[in-house]
């Protein structure tokens, strides 16, 4: 346990409280600011149908900040909300759902974007589904799904990305997140190739889910689920903010991992 000396000869120790579910933090006497580490819920991986594949879900946003608690009376509480991960897309197919935000008082870490569903947008032939976007500020983008000779691209927030012929979909930005997921591998003829890997988050949290494939699913990063190969995408690790893995073939995408809030203070 860390300790510091106070100006009056006393000492303070570093206190910490981790929230893995909704709760409240109570302000102790003598504490005016706290240090926060927030991670939003990861986005769900995209579902797929037939020989098509879904994109990996984006990682939840990772936020570190100092937070002034002087507006809360001593002994009173501040609400903590832990963002749930987005639900994975089904084999209709549908895109994965966006993850939910984690919040301490008024400060939020956004959830990651959902991975595109395989064969969900017939406007960009021969491309794999797009990976979900990362949550702002530092979640990893989801991995793109592997493409085959007839697979169209998935969508992210209504925007269709169109890579070159027979390519895998790219990992997608979301909420202006800065980290992009890996692209799905180039396809040869009509054969599926490997799904893209999830983008790296920050400090071991908020990694993107891997893209689906019928040959080799992409790897999730920092709590992100792996892409199916073929099969359902793996779920993101609970309380990591990792995105769910995309589906390979007629399966569902994995759910995103829930977020976390860690509060630290000297007291």
Residue 164 lies inside a defined structural domain of this protein: yes
1 assigned to some structural domain: no
The answer to whether residue 115 sits within a structural domain is yes
List the chain pLDDT tens, one digit each, 267 residues: 444 444 445 688 999 999 999 999 999 999 999 999 999 999 899 888 877 788 888 888 888 999 999 999 999 999 999 999 999 999 988 888 888 999 999 999 888 888 888 764 443 333 455 566 555 556 677 777 766 544 333 333 323 333 333 334 545 444 444 445 555 544 444 455 778 888 888 888 988 888 888 888 888 888 999 999 989 999 999 999 999 999 988 999 999 999 999 999 998
Residue 178 maps to a domain: yes
Residues 6+ apart with CB under 8 A from 119: 48, 49, 50, 52, 93, 151, 152
Q: The pTM is what?
A: 0.83
Residue 113: inside a domain, yes or no? yes
Q: 66 has which bridge partners?
A: 35
What total number of domains does the chain contain? 1
DSSP state, residue 239: T
Instruction: Give backbone dihedrals phi and psi of 38, rounded to 5 degrees, phi first.
Output: -120, 140
Give the structural domain span for 233. Answer: 15-267
Pairing between strand 11-19 and 62-68?
unpaired
What is the rounded distance in angstroms from the CA atom of residue 95 to the CA atom of residue 261? 27
Tell whether 9 is covered by a domain.
no
């Amino acid at each position: 346990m860390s300790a510091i000396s106070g100006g009056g000869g006393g000492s303070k120790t570093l206190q910490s409280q981790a929230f893995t579910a909704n709760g409240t933090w109570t302000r102790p006497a003598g504490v005016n600011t706290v240090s926060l580490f927030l991670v939003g819920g990861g986005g769900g991986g995209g579902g797929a149908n037939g020989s098509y594949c879904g994109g990996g879900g984006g990682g939840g946003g990772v936020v570190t900040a100092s937070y002034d608690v002087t507006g809360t009376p001593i002994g009173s509480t501040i609400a903590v909300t832990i963002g749930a991960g987005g639900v994975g897309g089904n084999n209709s197919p549908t895109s994965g759902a966006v993850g939910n935000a984690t919040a301490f008082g008024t400060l939020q870490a956004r959830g990651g974007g959902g991975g595109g569903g395989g064969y969900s947008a017939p406007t960009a032939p021969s491309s794999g589904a797009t990976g979900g976007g990362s949550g702002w500020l530092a979640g990893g983008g989801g991995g793109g799904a592997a493409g085959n000779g007839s697979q169209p691209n998935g969508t992210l927030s209504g925007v269709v990305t169109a890579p070159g012929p027979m390519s895998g979909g790219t990992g997608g930005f979301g909420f202006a997140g800065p980290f992009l997921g890996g692209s799905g591998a180039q396809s040869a003829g009509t054969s599926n190739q490997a799904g893209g890997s999830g983008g790296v988050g920050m400090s071991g949290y908020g990694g993107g889910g891997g893209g689906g494939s019928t040959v080799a699913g992409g790897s999730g990063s920092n709590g992100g689920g792996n892409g199916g190969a073929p099969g359902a995408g793996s779920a993101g690790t609970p309380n990591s903010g990792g995105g769910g893995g995309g589906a390979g073939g007629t399966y569902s995408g994995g759910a995103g991992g829930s977020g976390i809030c860690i509060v630290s203070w000297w007291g």
